Structure 1
């Protein structure tokens, strides 16, 4: 992997994004880190520059102009992106109607449109070079029945999974691997941002993985060319149950436990 180009990681300021950046640095891949919080990016970059070259480009992907600007800025710096990690994301807690439309529109821009646009912008040079890796961070929530609350989250992640799987088939003969990374409960700032930390912390420890392990599994999967990576045995069982259980039983199970990890008020 060293020498093949830079890894662009969005949402790299914390959590799984920061862990994926650390994993690529461990593998010798130079980095372009992007997120809204420049101070957090610079702090992470300072810890990684002893291993690889690191560039920081702050951007807010809720801005529809951000994907194009990010591509242009990377071009102005003379960098080639051979690894794209679409990781930026968050959750909107509560019922669908408890938030104004602008909140949902921004969410969809970050979680769906920016993922598709960044991929569309950075994929052509990968295909031209005959080598590329695209790791789209989805979620177990995109594979199991929907629950009340965080209404668009599972739907957005289901899109990312299907998008990645289709793209993986299109690019397989062109040297580009595309993977949907589907973690379950992961120790990160995600639950602090959406206000669910106290509630999800009551869930049993065996449901959780740390972000570094999720990152290692995801990067290994995209290097192998796996179209989908569900992290951890427990999560693979849950995904399997939701697939093979009768739909009514799977939905009832999710409904019964959803308040442990979703705010539906």
Structure 2
């Protein structure tokens, strides 16, 4: 098996960093490079644009090659940064290893990982075949975990790394009827991020679980929930650009878990204070307001 990018033996490209912050960068230093998954639309594309505006080189991955190519070209022209599109379907268990092997082949070390790829499976658990659930678990749990594992040694060796795992407010709430695995997968990303942050903060690697609520994107069109969620009040919604910018600021500050928006933070706090039985009953009554159950 080909060696992955973090094992290529290349000398560190960046000055080392202590647990008190990064060493100053010089004009000769190459730009940090970020890998963004699910970059073809929504929050992923917003992360790509925000990173490019901050001077990062980019590797963009998602299934839709044409969209990736167009975004990479846009960001190269607008910001003068290096942007590479590497289409991949993370539902394929071999995709992360192939992606990392290609990064090694092109000598593209990754300093920032944005684990954003994701979607929802509408309906109840038994309504979908197992393979659909298996693909979901691969994309939302296994792939981001594997990418972090493969890229982390290089970040630690260079004394600098940023990992943002895009979770959700749903990861802080009881599971709802419908979209059975969604909240569970996001809760996993939150706990995974917490442990990973504690293990690596002394080595200059910041890890953050970003937890947006309702965000304007294609997510609800893909799941067939657009008509439902459009009935939600406007104060419940945020735009993808704001979510991404807040996520980058949060990981840079060293925040381990960041919930976007005051309304979402209030909801998280409320459900944390409620008894479990009451919180579950409240979610059960409201599931049809934002989940496709059939």
What is the rounded CA distance, in whole Å, between the counterparts of 2:186 and 2:215 in structure 1? 15
Among 155, 166, 173, the alignment partner of 1:137 is: 166
Among 84, 91, 99, the alignment partner of 2:113 is: 84
The reply to whether residue 100 of structure 1 matches residue 110 of structure 2 is no
What is the rounded CA distance, in whole Å, between the counterparts of 2:50 and 2:273 in structure 1? 34
SS where residue 62 of structure 1 aligns? coil
Which residue of 1 is the match for residue 257 of structure 2? 228
Q: Which runs of 4+ in 1 moved over 2 A?
A: 1-5
What is the rounded CA distance, in whole Å, between the counterparts of 1:257 and 1:76 in structure 2? 49
Q: Is 1:6–1:29's contact at 8 Å kept on the other side of the alignment?
A: yes
SS where residue 89 of structure 1 aligns? coil
Which residue of 2 is the match for residue 184 of structure 1? 213
TM (norm. structure 2) is 0.89
SS where residue 170 of structure 2 aligns? helix
Q: Is 2:43–2:241's contact at 8 Å kept on the other side of the alignment?
A: yes
The reply to whether residue 33 of structure 1 matches residue 56 of structure 2 is no
Which residue of 2 is the match for residue 168 of structure 1? 197
Superposed CA offset, 1:82-119 (max 9, x none): 00010000000000000000000000000000011000
What is the rounded CA distance, in whole Å, between the counterparts of 1:172 and 1:118 in structure 2? 18
TM (norm. structure 1) is 0.98
Report the number of matched residues.
Answer: 265
Which residue of 1 is the match for residue 15 of structure 2? none
CA apart distance, 1:258: 1.4
Which residue of 1 is the match for residue 14 of structure 2? none
Q: Is 2:36–2:58's contact at 8 Å kept on the other side of the alignment?
A: yes
SS where residue 85 of structure 1 aligns? strand
Among 50, 75, 80, the alignment partner of 1:23 is: 50
Q: Which runs of 5+ in 2 are unaligned?
A: 1-24
Which residue of 2 is the match for residue 49 of structure 1? 76
Superposed CA offset, 1:198-221 (max 9, x none): 111111000000000000100100
CA apart distance, 1:47: 1.5
The reply to whether residue 216 of structure 1 matches residue 254 of structure 2 is no
Superposed CA offset, 1:7-38 (max 9, x none): 00000000000000011001000100000000
SS where residue 198 of structure 1 aligns? helix
Which residue of 1 is the match for residue 22 of structure 2? none
CA apart distance, 1:4: 4.5
SS where residue 49 of structure 1 aligns? helix
What is the rounded CA distance, in whole Å, between the counterparts of 1:168 and 1:243 in structure 2? 22
What is the rounded CA distance, in whole Å, between the counterparts of 1:198 and 1:184 in structure 2? 17
What is the rounded CA distance, in whole Å, between the counterparts of 2:114 and 2:202 in structure 1? 20
Q: Is 1:3–1:29's contact at 8 Å kept on the other side of the alignment?
A: no
Q: Which runs of 5+ in 1 are unaligned?
A: none
Q: Is 1:37–1:58's contact at 8 Å kept on the other side of the alignment?
A: yes
Superposed CA offset, 1:180-227 (max 9, x none): 000000000000111111111111000000000000100100111100
Q: Is 1:5–1:79's contact at 8 Å kept on the other side of the alignment?
A: no
What is the rounded CA distance, in whole Å, between the counterparts of 1:256 and 1:43 in structure 2? 43
Among 218, 227, 246, the alignment partner of 2:275 is: 246
What is the rounded CA distance, in whole Å, between the counterparts of 1:232 and 1:89 in structure 2? 21
What is the rounded CA distance, in whole Å, between the counterparts of 1:100 and 1:154 in structure 2? 19
